A and B are shown apart, each in its own frame.
Chain A
Amino acid sequence: MSLPFTIARTHLVSKPKQTIVAMLGVTFGIGMFIAMVSLMTGLNDMTEDLAMTSSPDIRIYHDITADRSSLAEQVNPQGINIVYHTKPKNESQKVHNALKIAEMIRKNPEVRGVSPQLTSQVFYNYGPVQLNGTIAGVDIVEEDRLFDIKAKMREGRIEDLIVNPEGIIMGKGLAKKLNAKTGDRVVITTPQGFTMTLKVVGLFQMGVGTIDNVKSYANISMVQNILQRDKSYLTDVNIKLKDFHLAKAMAPQLQKTFGYKSEDWETANATMLLGVIIRNILTYSVSITLLIVAGFGIYNILNMTIMNKMKDIAILKAMGFSGSDVRKIFMIQSLIIGLIGSLAGLAIGFLLSSLIVRAPFDGGDVISIDHLPVNFKAKYYIVGIVFGIVTTAIAGYMPSRKAANVDPIEILRG
């Protein structure tokens, strides 16, 4: 063992209280960082996951609420035109040639699946209960390729929908509200007032309340039928890519090519993903604050130690220790504090994370989880220990340099 290390260790051991206080500062900083980052990134991953599993990477639809210029503006583009209360035109939500569009998009090698479909607002009636919801007419096999519906079926199978033209697969939350079970018949009413009785052939659960509590799948022709539309009436083209990160770049291209609004999943889930950013900011600002406080603690303690050890430093230098030997002695002290403090912090962080993940947590109607999602990734533990050691190294550097520059003559002169 090197001599500076031995001396550093002896200094630390001879002042155990001071050493432990300095270490605890780092331990709390790193422990909090690990616990927070594990939970927050767990939540982030879950949020992203839910956004990914429940919405298509890109959705192409006819946006009838889009701003349009008023007639006055078209006639007199240079003039000052004030038109109050412009209302949207009575346009159909139909996406023309949806099947052709789907066919063309399928040819792109980046695309995993395309599901043209039609959706509509409907009322669900079951006995006296009437609920607002949506119905999607889909090719369930295509839809399964996009959203892995098979894995999300809680009752029944997707094939039941194919063989049963009057069947629907209902969101589990919606079924629960309606008190409907597989095999029951529910009445659907469209906004135009048409009604139809359909048979529940299965229940699915995506895990997000905003879908499970309102949505059902039916066959395309069935929904066209309810809405009294022709065989070409489709309102959406949903796309899943092989790499969902490409969605943001691809959506505007599709919008340009086909002339219909195309929205990527990030835009569609903007509010949900805003939470991700806020959680990241929170995690890092709290952790960095704690570490800075720990850093100041180490700085203070080391400064005090060096003040008290001026004579020792002077005699060491007189006996032949160089400035860098002296600096090493104190840098090693702060690094030992940093290393042990950080390791203890990782342990505390792991313990806290294990407690959090064990605590029962009811996501209620919104998200179907029974405990909080916590990440146990080695990456964050490595970041934690690097953080801890870098902080203590920075905090220890200035006092150590001061020690290295001590002029022994000033102190030893009798």
Chain B
Amino acid sequence: MQVLKAHKVTKYFYEPEKFQVLKAIDLSVSKGEFLSLVGKSGCGKSTLLYVLSTMDTDYEGELEIAGQRLTGKDQNQLSKFRNAHIGFVFQFHYLLPEFSVLQNVMIPALKLARYSPHEIEERAYEKLTMLGVQEQALKPSNKLSGGQQQRVAIARALINDPDIIMGDEPTGNLDSYNTHVVFDIFNELTQRYKQTIIAVTHDEEFAKKSDRIVEMSDGKIVS
């Protein structure tokens, strides 16, 4: 089953001069796939990921996630879609510093409001337990180590049971131990829970261990 389909995605930047950053990219991702997006710095990986994530709407081509055509939808519809269907993990954890770990995980679910706040709290504890940071639940998020914070960010990405998790260099800021931890978590998520993951990385070891490597060069997919 295809979770994500991109057809002939093309994008230009106009500043400082017109420049084609994505060149007719076709990409399909199946459910439960752990995909690594690799390539030289500046080849357009992040740009592609932000198009796939629906945050960047300034492109040509077609995008479909979880059976919904997303090309041409307005910002409000796309916000709602991201909330329910996409989880994000970034290079920096981006937890909200004023909130506790638990609240950080709960916020996307409170926004979605599919469950009652009480149920959401239970589910947030489940995710934190799954990632081994349940003891930190009530601490302020900025009192955790870098590795712990990234695990909390993954728990937050998982809270709404998204169809797909996207990460832009999710291990880029971690030491090798924590990189391993995050990789193992991603692996387990795809193996055990059939979670689909797309991760941009330039860590070759990390990429090699994933299910599928997509390599980009100069705005095109080369393998």
Chain A interface residues (CB < 8 Å from chain B): 3, 6-7, 10-11, 13-14, 311-312, 314-325, 408-409, 412-414
Contact = CB atoms under 8 A, between A and B. Distances in A.
B50 A414 contact: no
A319 B107 contact: yes
Contact of B111 (A3, A408, A414): A3
Contacts, number: 78
A318 B90 CA distance: 11
Contact of B88 (A3, A6, A319, A323): A319
Contacts of A319: 82-83, 88, 107-108, 111, 156
A314 B169 contact: no
Contact of B53 (A315, A318, A323): A318
Given A318-B82, A321-B111, 17 more contacts: A7-B96, A13-B98, A315-B94, A315-B96, A318-B55, A318-B88, A319-B156, A320-B80, A320-B83, A320-B84, A320-B112, A322-B79, A322-B80, A324-B76, A412-B50, A413-B50, A414-B90
B172 interface: yes
Interface string B64-79: 0000000000011001
Contacts of A413: 46, 50, 168
Contacts of A11: 98
Contacts of A317: 55, 79
A414 to B, nearest CB: 4
Given A409-B56, A414-B168, A14 B98 contact: yes
A132 B85 CA distance: 95
B98 A10 contact: yes
B110 interface: yes
Contact of B169 (A311, A312, A414): A414
A409 B90 contact: no
Nearest to B200: A414
Interface of B: 46, 50, 53, 55-56, 75-76, 79-84, 88, 90-92, 94, 96-99, 107-108, 110-112, 156, 168-169, 172, 200
A330 B53 CA distance: 26
Contacts of A324: 76
Contact of A412 (B83, B94, B107, B112): B94
A119 B157 CA distance: 93
Contacts of B90: 315, 412, 414
Nearest to A323: B75
25 contacts: A3-B110, A7-B96, A10-B99, A14-B98, A312-B94, A314-B94, A315-B88, A316-B107, A318-B55, A318-B88, A319-B88, A319-B108, A320-B84, A322-B75, A322-B79, A323-B75, A323-B76, A325-B79, A325-B111, A412-B50, A412-B55, A414-B90, A414-B91, A414-B92, A414-B172
A316 B82 CA distance: 11
A15 to B, nearest CB: 9
Contacts of B83: 319-321
